[in-house]
Amino acid sequence: MQAMVLNRVGGPLVWTDLPDRRPGPGQIRVKVSACGVCRTDLHVLDGELPNPQFPIIPGHEIVGRIDALGAGVSDLKIGERVGVPWLGHTCGVCPYCVEHRENLCDHPLFTGFTRDGGFATATVADARFAFPLSEVGDDVALAPLLCAGLIGWRSLAMAGAGKTLGIYGFGAAGHIVAQVARWQGRSVFAFTRPGDLATQAFARSLGAVWAGGSDEAPPELLDAAIIYATDGALVPTALKAVRKGGRVVCAGIHMSDIPEFPYASLWEEREIVSVANLTRQDGLDFLKLAPEIGIVTKTTTYRLKDANQALSDLRAGRFEGAAVLVP
């Protein structure tokens, strides 16, 4: 197999020939057909997440077909198309796992961070954490659903039932969540980098009722806002954009520090919450609904060998939607 391997903080990822891996008990081997590039991969590259492991193969939006089964795997078949997400393993016995909050597991493994991921021609995954995908939809279009879609789905649920929703950072997750929110009958207000008129137009094309810079106030106070951007200064900004009792959801795995802000911005029962990871139930719920919602992902395809280019383009905001690597 070949992979783009990250050997140290800061990279670059290096094209590497590796021995083929065999799936252990309870595992599957997946021939990767597409792997999305996520903001979290940049955090891994930049050493912004705790306890990194090197060398590591990043990538946690994997779509592929099973080409080998480990002992004891009976509910998946050779040739079946599956998706492998960020949550790669949980312990099953910690208080969070027992309470059905496995996204907060005390001893998890994360695909592409603490176990090897999908920037490769093949990957080995825990069978219990792979989602069977139907034959509907092409591999590249489905890949961003595996994290941007799933985290988006969870953050949307955390935002509550409000009808007006702000989205700060209109990238891979934002453009999927906007479609889900609209399908649910909500009105989406999209906030982009100031002056990013192209992304604002992109947001309107996906049904946003308003789009502007994150330095602008929305035309009305919102029921909730979700922040996908990594700038902690957006937290007090978003608080000012939500009504009394409104909620601000921080959906990123890493943000810069949140600056000091007046208590009056939080007063009147406004809330700030964060979203961490996903549960398998999130994945089952979302992937079942996705075809019904008719989500159309906007993707830019790169060859696996060009993963470094994809990452730098993501950092610079050089494409709309999501980047996807194809071996």
Q: Quick check: 105 binds Zn ion (CB under 5 A)?
A: yes
Nearer Cβ to Zn ion, position 154 or 247? Answer: 154
Q: Quick check: 253 binds Zn ion (CB under 5 A)?
A: no
Of 92-100, 135-143, 178-186, 214-222, the segment contacting Zn ion by CB under 5 A is 92-100
In three-state form (DSSP H/G/I as H, E/B as E, the rest C), the secondary structure along 92-135 is CCCHHHHCCCHHHCCCCEEECCCECCCCECEEEEEHHHCEECCC
Q: Quick check: 97 binds Zn ion (CB under 5 A)?
A: yes
Nearer Cβ to Zn ion, position 60 or 186? Answer: 60
Q: Quick check: 147 binds Zn ion (CB under 5 A)?
A: yes
Q: Would you give the distance in Å from CA 76 to the centre of its chain?
A: 24
Q: Quick check: 90 binds Zn ion (CB under 5 A)?
A: yes
Instruction: Show contacts with Zn ion in window 11-40 (CB under 5 A).
Output: 38, 40
Q: Quick check: 234 binds Zn ion (CB under 5 A)?
A: no
Nearer Cβ to Zn ion, position 105 or 145? Answer: 105
Can you say whether residue 163 is alpha, beta or left, with left for phi > 0 and alpha for psi between -120 and 50 degrees? Answer: alpha
Q: Quick check: 322 binds Zn ion (CB under 5 A)?
A: no
- For β-strands 299-303 and 271-274, DSSP reports them as unpaired
The least CB distance from residue 34 to Zn ion, in Å, is 14
Nearer Cβ to Zn ion, position 69 or 323? Answer: 323
Question: For the chain, how big is the Rg over CA atoms in Å?
Answer: 19
Nearer Cβ to Zn ion, position 151 or 225? Answer: 151
User: How far, in Å, CA of 222 to CA of 218, rounded?
Assistant: 8
Q: SS3 for 34?
A: strand
Judge whether 119 and 58 are in contact, CB under 8 Å. Answer: yes
Which of 94, 141, 209, 221 is in the footprint of Zn ion by CB under 5 A? 94
Of 19-27, 88-96, 233-241, 255-263, the segment contacting Zn ion by CB under 5 A is 88-96
Residue 27 amino acid letter: Q
The least CB distance from residue 60 to Zn ion, in Å, is 6
Nearer Cβ to Zn ion, position 118 or 327? Answer: 118
Q: SS3 for 247?
A: strand
Can you tell me which residue has the tokens 């520090």?
257
User: How far, in Å, CA of 238 to CA of 259, rounded?
Assistant: 13
> Which residues on neighbouring strands pair with residue 279, listed in sequence order?
none
Binding stretches for Zn ion (CB under 5 A): 38, 40, 90-91, 94, 97, 105, 147
